[in-house]
Amino acid sequence: MRGLVASFGHALSGVRRLLFRERNGRIHLALAVAVVLAGLAFGISRADWLWIVAAIALVWTAEALNTALETLCDTLHPERAEGIRHTKDLAAGAVLVAALGAVLIGGLVFFPYVFG
């Protein structure tokens, strides 16, 4: 049981680092808070909340994996290398795809509430 508790502690430490020490994590946090507040203000449906929560989780997951991969690359290979650059670009691209998907989901969810 002690190991399980320690694992959760490490995971929470990673989440805290992502949300409060990484610039992009803070941006994603601010946008997620804004979307949640908008959802509360518009009284969106339970089904719409499922999409919003999934989109937020997807973006945060992508950002966490990107940050972890960038940290690992920078630690193992601090000097510039083409392969490292490509790896980091691909990871950043994954975050971009997730964020664009989240924007699309947000648009589809909120459009009827704003213009309906």
Q: Mind telling me the catalytic residues? A: 63
Residues in Cβ contact with 97 at an 8 Å cutoff, skipping those fewer than 6 apart: 62
3-state secondary structure of 78: coil
Residues in Cβ contact with 95 at an 8 Å cutoff, skipping those fewer than 6 apart: 24, 59, 62, 63, 66
Q: For residue 50, what are its two tokens?
A: 């499922």
| Local structure of residue 77 (DSSP, 8 states) | -
Q: For residue 90, what are its two tokens?
A: 């691909």
69 touches 88 (CB < 8 A) = yes
